Amino acid sequence: MGSRASSLLREEDIEEIKKETGFSHSQITRLYSRFHSLDKGENGALSREDFQRIPELAINPLGDRIINAFFPEGEDQVNFRGFMRTLAHFRPVEDNEKNKDPSAGEPLNSRNNKLLFAFRLYDLDRDDKISRDELLQVLRMMVGVNISDEQLGSIADRTIQEADTNGDMCISFSEFIKVLEKVDVEQKMSIRFLH
Amino acid sequence: TALLPIHTWNLPGSSMLNLWMPMTVTYIHLLLLLLDPSSALMSTQDPPPSLGNHSMDKNDVDEAEGHFTVPIAFRVFSVDYHHVQAPFEIVLWIMLASLAKLGFHWSGRIPAVVPESCLLIMVGLLVGGVIYGVRHTAPPVLSAEAFFLYLLPPIVLDAGYFLPGRLFFENLGTILWYAVLGTLWNVLGIGLSLYGLCQLGGWGLEEVSLLHFLLFGSLIAAVDPVAVLSVFEEIHVNEQLHILVFGESLLNDAVTVVLYKLFESFLRMPSVSGVDVLAGGCQFVVVGLGGLCVGLFFGLVAALTTRFTARAQVIAPLFVFLYSYLSYLTSEMLHFSGIMAIVTCAVTMKQYVEANVSEKSNTTIKYFLKMWSSVSETLIFIFLGVSTIQDVHMWSWPFVSSTLFLCLLWRALGVLLLTAVVNKLRRNAVTFRDQFIIAYGGLRGAICFSLVFLIEDFPKKRLFITTTIVVILFTVFVQGMTIKPLVELLDVKRKKRVLPTVSEEVHCRLLDHLLSGIEDVVGYWGQHYWKDKFEHFNTKYLKRFLIREDKQPKSSIVRLYQELERREQMGETDEGKRERSPAM
């Protein structure tokens, strides 16, 4: 499986992905094997069904939303680059990267981008605000069935109230960042991709 | 006199007076009754041969008699002390310990600077000194049996029940790394280097064998959970650091038990072969896992039992204590690690018990555990102080000081090396400041003290006892007192004192699910993967089996929300929240 998969991935592609995402060479080839094993249709791209075949993801309360996050706006297929771009958000932040290249723009795994990724899980309609309904939907998925609607509503109200500084009864991205300022997001949202 | 000089400081007048009376009464009582040598809590069964003058005991008994009778034919009034002697003395010791503890908290700025453990040891020293002065014999010594069977379990149970589960399991690898390898490193390092130094040093200790030094190393190297708990409770470092030190002190029990017993049995054998050492290595696995399994078993049975306590709610807390204690005793009986068993039992049963029993029972469990562990801890430290006053000390400046130095050195080296390796595998590196606190927080306590007394007698045993006492006193006093200012000086990250907001809880939960999902996509069996698998198994099977139908627990988000609402209804402000959240 290893050698056949990597032969479909060209060296230039690997270099580009490396520059864009910051993954190392071996990490990229390993993740490509994974991509390939998920790709049952063997067409070089993953569809939603391919993701849904992962058993543990099916029982994850936020499974659908996570899958959605891989697919760019309005598309049904994601290629390897898109796959890696999404995964790049979860790379651990390393100290020696911080001073690398200020002109290259913010790396995908910066704190801001990590938080933006999480924010987009709530904000389905992409209006840069988490409305009460969007929050309720996510809460319902996470908390389960044995809570009444009013109680869930009060929890949602309280969540918005704690974050809302401009009184629009929605959570904007900056308010979201403020709420999570005490949480160690860089550590929480990182996976150790094996070298 | 044995009266504490607390009254000399400025205190609110009337309240101190109220405290004065019972204290004075108790101390006078204690003094009078301590003239009688036989005491239940002290070592009557296993006294070190050089301690306690047996021949004098008989004379004392004849003298003190304990019967004060009015010299008329018809006894209207008599005092029969022997009838109540054993429980009476136990209660008096506990009373002394508790009143001493009360006294400290009234004594102004002292508790802020000196940790409680130091003050208690000083009280013990004082009482021990008084007894020695009055009776001219050594005061009673804390018996190893009383310590291991009665005083240690409540503390460990309390620690296990309130262990922050998630943090513990997230850091489990690192904790095990320090506990197992770190202890091994320390034991071998201290044992071998002491042996080497004694062979070269010309201190008159050449004939002591290597095995004796290794045995000594095994008991003096281990970090003591009681001492760590009492000191770290007051310095409020960040939770990760706290769990690393504390978890290590709990889990290294398995290693200590095995090594101690191993070297002890090697001492008795005429020769030691490689196979024996290998067997020792296997025994470590057996001891650790055995303790774990015993704890798991009793934990699950306890959880199941509480499922049926709806109709007899008052005795529900009793099951928690009984099963935990049973797990400890069973484990000790089978020569497994008792501490691991009781911690595992507590951790296993906690969530199910909390769901099954009523609010009042939960509160009862909490308060009883805190109370018992507090009493035990106080007693242990006081007895440490009392037992230090003996007439059997053998002193040797070079040996004692080199032991002390080597203990510190090996611990520092061990922590540095092990952390360097483990940081490569952790998500969240252990900083140098944290490493310093881990090394500096390696306090020794009553466990080494009891173990050193249990060694079979040999010519230099008294020296070992003295050295152990010195090391314990040094770590508790010097390290215990200076660690707080050092934490502030080094600006070590401290514990957050407020409850999280509902938003934080909600968003963190989202992140947890997100990370699990990403780990699934990548096919990486990381922490989230295993945590999720366990949660799934738990919800599907364990909770259904062990918790009553109508009490299936709600999500943590809901619980936090309800807790915050409850607090606001009770009119507590942010200030109140901050005061309440630590400790309880």
Q: Please tell me the number of Cα atoms within 13 Å of B11 on its side-chain side.
A: 21
List CB contacts (< 8 A) between A137 and chain B. none
Output the average pLDDT for chain B: 80
Residue B575 confidence (pLDDT): 45
Task: Give dist(CA A45, CA A81) in Å, integer.
Answer: 10
Task: Give dist(CA B310, CA B548) in Å, integer.
Answer: 9
Residue B26 confidence (pLDDT): 60
List CB contacts (< 8 A) between A54 and chain B. 520-521
Residue B189 confidence (pLDDT): 92
* Residue of B508, B518, B561 with shortest CB distance to A90: B518
Q: Please tell me the number of Cα atoms within 13 Å of B210 on its side-chain side.
A: 7
Confidence of residue B322 (pLDDT cuts 50, 70, 90): very high
Q: Is the pLDDT of residue A127 over 80?
A: yes
* Residue of B427, B518, B536 with shortest CB distance to A92: B427
Nearest CA in chain B to A118: B511
Kindly compute the dihedral angle of the four CA atoms of residues B513, B515, B518, B520, in this order, to the nearest 10 degrees: -70
CB pairs under 8 A between A and B: 118
Residue B298 confidence (pLDDT): 94
CB–CB contact B501 A162 (8 Å): yes
The per-residue pLDDT for range B462-482, each reduced to its tens digit, is: 888 888 988 999 999 999 889
Reference B2, options B110, B134, B179; nearest CA is B134
Confidence of residue B580 (pLDDT cuts 50, 70, 90): very low
Backbone phi, then psi, for B495, in 5-degree steps? -75, 140
Residues 6+ apart with CB under 8 A from A56: B516, B520, B529, B532, B533
List CB contacts (< 8 A) between B517 and chain A. 57, 60, 62-63, 66
Q: Is residue B300 within 8 Å of residue B329, measured between CB atoms?
A: no
CB–CB contact B523 A159 (8 Å): no
Confidence of residue B341 (pLDDT cuts 50, 70, 90): very high
Instruction: State how far Cα B223 lies from the chain centre.
Output: 10
List CB contacts (< 8 A) between A154 and chain B. 561
Higher pLDDT, A86 or B32: A86
Q: Is the pLDDT of residue B80 over 60?
A: yes
- Which positions 79-108 of A are in contact with B (Cβ < 8 Å)? 87, 90, 92
List CB contacts (< 8 A) between B430 and chain A. none
> What is the nearest CA distance from B102 to chain A, expressed in angstroms?
37
* Residue of A56, A87, A121 with shortest CB distance to B510: A121
Reference B558, options B513, B505, B496, B504; nearest CA is B505
Residue B449 confidence (pLDDT): 87
* Residue of B502, B511, B522 with shortest CB distance to A118: B511
Confidence of residue B294 (pLDDT cuts 50, 70, 90): very high
Q: Which of B170, B493, B501, B506 to probe by mutation at the A interface, max A CB count within 10 Å?
A: B506
* Per-residue DSSP letter, B499: P
DSSP chain A: -HHHHHHTS-HHHHHHHHHHH---HHHHHHHHHHHHHH-TT-SSEE-HHHHHTSHHHHTSTTHHHHHHHHSPTT-S-EEHHHHHHHHHTTSPP-GGGTTS-GGG---TTSHHHHHHHHHHHH-TT-SSEE-HHHHHHHHHHHH-SSS-HHHHHHHHHHHHHHH-SSSSSSEEHHHHHHHGGGS-HHHHT------
* Residue of B496, B503, B514 with shortest CB distance to A66: B514
* Residue of B514, B529, B558 with shortest CB distance to A121: B514
The per-residue pLDDT for range B108-153, each reduced to its tens digit, is: 777 777 888 888 888 888 888 888 888 777 777 778 888 889 999 9
CA angle centred on B340, ends B260 and B554, rounded to 5°:
170
The per-residue pLDDT for range A50-60, each reduced to its tens digit, is: 888 888 888 88
Name the pTM for this structure.
0.79
Q: Is the pLDDT of residue B550 over 80?
A: no
> What is the nearest CA distance from B140 to chain A, expressed in angstroms?
52
> What is the nearest CA distance from A22 to chain B, expressed in angstroms?
17
Mean pLDDT of A113-142: 88
Backbone phi, then psi, for B146, in 5-degree steps? -60, -40
Q: Is the pLDDT of residue B311 over 80?
A: yes
Residues 6+ apart with CB under 8 A from A185: A111, A114, A115, B511
CB–CB contact A147 B428 (8 Å): no
- At B393, the amino acid letter reads H
* Per-residue DSSP letter, B178: I
Q: Is the pLDDT of residue A99 over 60?
A: no
Can you give B89-107 as a three-state secondary structure string?
HHHHHHHHHHHHHHHHHCC
End-to-end alpha carbon distance in chain B: 37
Q: Is residue B522 within 8 Å of residue A31, measured between CB atoms?
A: yes
Question: Can you read off the two tokens belonging to residue A173?
Answer: 């991205």
Residue B407 confidence (pLDDT): 92
What are the CA-CA distances from residue B483 to residues B431, B438, B486 (Å)?
17, 11, 5
* Residue of A62, A159, A182 with shortest CB distance to B506: A159
Q: Please tell me the number of Cα atoms within 13 Å of B565 on its side-chain side.
A: 12
The per-residue pLDDT for range B5-43, each reduced to its tens digit, is: 333 333 344 444 455 555 665 666 666 555 554 444 443
Q: Please tell me the number of Cα atoms within 13 Å of A119 on its side-chain side.
A: 23
Residue B333 confidence (pLDDT): 93
Task: Give dist(CA A151, CA A139) in Å, integer.
Answer: 11
Task: Give dist(CA B503, CA A75) in Å, integer.
Answer: 32
- Among A113-122, B101-110, B558-567, the range with the most confident prediction by mean pLDDT is A113-122
List CB contacts (< 8 A) between A182 and chain B. 496, 504
Task: Give dist(CA B162, CA B307) in Å, integer.
Answer: 21
List CB contacts (< 8 A) between B536 and chain A. 59
* Residue of B427, B517, B555 with shortest CB distance to A187: B427
* Residue of B506, B523, B533 with shortest CB distance to A139: B506
List CB contacts (< 8 A) between A162 and chain B. 501-503
End-to-end alpha carbon distance in chain A: 18
Task: Give dist(CA B503, CA A178) in Å, integer.
Answer: 11
CA angle centred on B376, ends B374 and B377, rounded to 5°:
65
Q: Is B321 on the interface with A (CB under 8 A)?
A: no
Give the other-Cβ count within 10 Å of B427's Cβ. 15
Helix, strand, coil proportions of chain B in percent (round to 5)? 75, 0, 25
Task: Give dist(CA B499, CA B402) in Å, integer.
Answer: 46
Q: Is B167 on the interface with A (CB under 8 A)?
A: no
Identify the residue whose tokens are 């364990």. B542
CA-based R_g, chain A, Å: 19
Mean pLDDT of A118-146: 86
List the domains of chain A with CATH numbers.
13-89 (1.10.238.10), 108-190 (1.10.238.10)
- Would you say how long chain B is, in residues? 584
CB–CB contact A54 B555 (8 Å): no
> What is the nearest CA distance from A38 to chain B, expressed in angstroms?
9
What are the CA-CA distances from residue B542 to residues A108, B181, B324, B348, B546 (Å)?
40, 33, 19, 11, 6
CB–CB contact B521 A57 (8 Å): yes
CB–CB contact B519 A146 (8 Å): no
Residue A101 confidence (pLDDT): 56
Q: Is residue A172 within 8 Å of residue A163, measured between CB atoms?
A: no
Task: Give dist(CA B68, CA B274) in Å, integer.
Answer: 65
Q: Is A151 on the interface with B (CB under 8 A)?
A: yes
List CB contacts (< 8 A) between B166 and chain A. none
Residue B67 confidence (pLDDT): 52
Q: Is A189 on the interface with B (CB under 8 A)?
A: yes
CB–CB contact B515 A54 (8 Å): no
- At B571, the amino acid letter reads G
Nearest CA in chain B to A35: B522
Residue A183 confidence (pLDDT): 83
Reference B355, options B522, B92, B546, B200; nearest CA is B546
> What is the nearest CA distance from B354 to chain A, expressed in angstroms?
19
The per-residue pLDDT for range B351-369, each reduced to its tens digit, is: 888 888 888 888 999 999 9
